[in-house]
Amino acid sequence: RRCIQPSLAPASSLLSHIMTLPLVAALAFALASPPPSRCSTRDLLRRTRPASMQFGGLNPFRGKQDGATAFCLTLAFRTADRGPRSLLGQLDSLAADADTSSEDGIAALCADTALLLLRRKQEWLYCCGEAKDHGRDEAALERFDRLAIREAAKFDDRDSSATVDAALAAAGVAAPAGGPPTAAVVCAVGCLAGDREAALGGADFAGSATGMQTALEELAAARAEDALAFELFWVPGDDSEALEMEEVVLDWPQLMPC
């Protein structure tokens, strides 16, 4: 904060300086506040969150609802069909019906995905996950961005020519109607307001069905204003693609039987 000292300058000069100060201050504020690099629902939600007080990186007055927790939950399944009531069919329906342009829509996608995965708990073969609490919302959202980019690279970097259905087609053997049986991998990446790590008893829970269930319950029960960000990934995405469990283990080495 600057302190303006009185001077012996003429009154007219002093008046012109006083009238110029608000304009200079406004210009300085505009220059110091760069525009956001993108405009998304997540950014709008981030700006509505209250700022937390920091004391040397730690806030002694921090409550359970301060800050935010970044989640990354991955599950592997074996699915025998591709119909509308199958895992892959229900994921397609979730994506088609999702409204990611609103706060309520993102929260609904988060809750509906978590409930779908919880209802299929008996089908879980492998699982891994992490839930890291951060004292600042910005830090949690930065972690969410890194997790989402990491997972997107795994799901996008798949070579369809290496799939079983491609080999069958090359041999002149038609795949079953609706797609062949396949392994499937589902990954949910989210960011929820508040400290959710304590409820899980730790940040990492690879191979723990109990930890995965608790994390999914946190996502399913989150209020609309607490769901700061959410992304959903899954493979295979094409009805003709089949994924072998050996490929899953190679591409997602963190997965462990649960």
User: Is the omega angle on the peptide bond into residue 36 within 30 degrees of 0, that is, cis?
Assistant: no
Residue 2 pLDDT more than 50?
no
In this prediction, residue 228 has a pLDDT band, given cuts at 50, 70 and 90, of very high
Q: Which amino acid, 85?
A: R
Q: What is the DSSP letter of 56?
A: T
Alpha-carbon distance values, 152 to 209, 221, 233 (Å): 24, 25, 7
pLDDT for 44-92, tens place per residue? 333 333 333 333 333 343 445 679 999 999 999 999 988 999 999 999 9
| Digit-coded pLDDT (tens) for 203-222 | 888 999 999 999 999 999 99
Instruction: Supply the pLDDT for residue 158.
Output: 57
SS3 70: strand
Over the stretch 86-119, which tens digit does the pLDDT of each residue have?
Answer: 999 999 999 999 998 888 999 999 999 999 999 9
Sheet holding 126-134, edge to edge: 227-235, 182-193, 68-79, 126-134, 256-257
pLDDT band, residue 150 (cuts 50/70/90): very high
Mean pLDDT of 155-179: 48
Count of H-run helices and E-run strands, the chain: 9, 5
pLDDT at residue number 34: 37
Opening angle at CA 81, ends 115 and 179, nearest 5? 125
pLDDT value at residue 221: 95
pLDDT over 50 at 126, yes or no = yes
pLDDT band at 202; cut points 50, 70, 90: confident
